[in-house]
């Protein structure tokens, strides 16, 4: 667990309206961020959690979460510390400005995943303060809700399964809990570009077993974790089509947009990408090349809540579906529900 406090930068004595919030009696109250505190939490699993807390001089606090990856969490924490220094002494409402300055002046237009993860956490925390200061849930500040219910799928349920029968048994257990959609990776580690015929056959049999166990009324979502070459992704998709998966997630390296577009053209399965894309510019390339049917961005690494909203809006303009990515039932779920309700 790491904590730090930065030094307030020079600023004008006259408060900027962007830092103010109206209170009872129409009095403008100036808010400033006074402390940025990150928390790196050991979960006991392969990934840590990385949270950040923003304190203000008015007593309001905001929380955010960064995406982490095994053996890279220390680098993400370092970005969070360095970028957080630029918030101390500034107002929590200048969200767009802060994101822009971090991209242009801190990252110098060449950001990596660590940058986007840290920015996402800080941006979420700023929105959290903004909502509390206004006495409103963040989704009301983004335009208000459009739906009262959001469908979810079960994930992570198959991690201890090995044989097709074990996959089928666990799938039935999850359906019995009320889930109507199940996501799982039928392939075995390690994640490599090429797999053998025996591994491919086993993956197909695992999918077959799950489909036969849960029937046709339950959706199955196939996760591939970016492990296949385009030609293998196309061949395996052809073998899986008989089981009518709801989607085919990240079949190949997501940076190979041309290859992903080719996979999409050569299969009837809806192709998904997004959790490993970190900027609106990358998502724009997905639209330009018609590389995916469904996007699954993650609010903890795409730039935060406002960036996620803008990606979602662009997806709607390009007739693409949206299935927001999340690994755990943690802070990010609350952030993504705020956008998903629109």
DSSP 106: I
Catalytic: which of 79, 86, 325, 331?
325
Active site residue 86: no
Active site residue 318: no
Concatenate the DSSP letters of all residues of 165-209 into one string.
Answer: HHHHHHHHHHHHTT-SEEEE--S-SS--S---HHHHHHHHHHHHH
The alpha carbon of 240 is separated from its chain's Cα centroid by a whole number of angstroms, namely: 26
For the chain, give the longest Cα–Cα distance.
Answer: 72
Separation between Cα atoms, residue 176 and residue 178, nearest integer Å: 5
Beta bridge partners of 54: 36, 62
Catalytic: which of 26, 97, 194, 225?
225
CB atoms within 10 A of CB 97: 12
Beta bridge partners of 183: 221
Beta bridge partners of 64: 52
Structure tokens at 284: 């724009």
Separation between Cα atoms, residue 338 and residue 342, nearest integer Å: 7
293, 264 in Cβ contact below 8 A? Answer: yes
Beta bridge partners of 248: 222, 271
CA distance from start to end of the chain: 35
Residue positions annotated with a catalytic role: 225, 325
């Amino acid at each position: 667990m790491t904590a730090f406090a930065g030094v307030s930068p020079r600023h004008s004595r006259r408060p900027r309206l962007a830092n103010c919030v109206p209170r009872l009696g129409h009095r403008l109250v100036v808010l400033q961020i006074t402390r940025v505190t990150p928390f790196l939490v050991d979960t006991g699993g392969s990934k840590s959690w990385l949270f950040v807390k923003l304190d203000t001089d008015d007593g309001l606090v905001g929380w955010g979460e960064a995406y982490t990856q095994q053996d890279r969490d220390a680098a993400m924490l370092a970005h969070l510390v360095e970028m957080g220094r630029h918030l101390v002494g500034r107002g929590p409402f200048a969200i767009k400005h802060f994101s822009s300055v971090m991209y242009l002046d801190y990252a110098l237009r060449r950001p990596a995943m660590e940058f986007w993860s840290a920015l996402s956490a800080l941006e979420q925390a700023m929105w959290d303060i903004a909502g509390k200061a206004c006495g409103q849930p963040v989704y009301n500040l983004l335009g208000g809700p459009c739906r009262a219910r959001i469908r979810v799928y079960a994930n992570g349920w198959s991690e201890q399964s090995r044989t097709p029968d074990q996959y089928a048994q666990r799938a039935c257990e999850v359906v019995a809990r009320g889930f109507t959609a199940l996501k799982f990776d039928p392939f075995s580690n390690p994640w490599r570009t090429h797999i053998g015929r025996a591994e491919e056959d086993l993956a197909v049999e695992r999918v077959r077993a799950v489909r036969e166990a849960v029937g046709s009324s339950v959706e199955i979502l196939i996760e591939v974790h970016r492990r296949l070459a385009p030609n293998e992704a196309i061949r395996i998709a052809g073998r899986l089509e008989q089981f009518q998966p709801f989607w085919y997630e990240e079949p190949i390296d997501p940076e190979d947009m041309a290859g992903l577009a080719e996979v999409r053209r050569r299969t009837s399965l809806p192709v998904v990408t997004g959790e490993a894309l970190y900027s609106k510019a990358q998502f724009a390339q997905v639209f330009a090349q018609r590389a995916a049917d469904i996007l699954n961005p993650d609010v903890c690494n795409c730039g935060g809540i406002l960036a996620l909203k803008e990606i979602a809006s662009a997806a709607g303009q390009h007739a693409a579906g949206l299935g927001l990515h999340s690994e755990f039932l943690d802070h990010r779920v609350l952030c993504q529900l705020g956008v998903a309700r629109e």
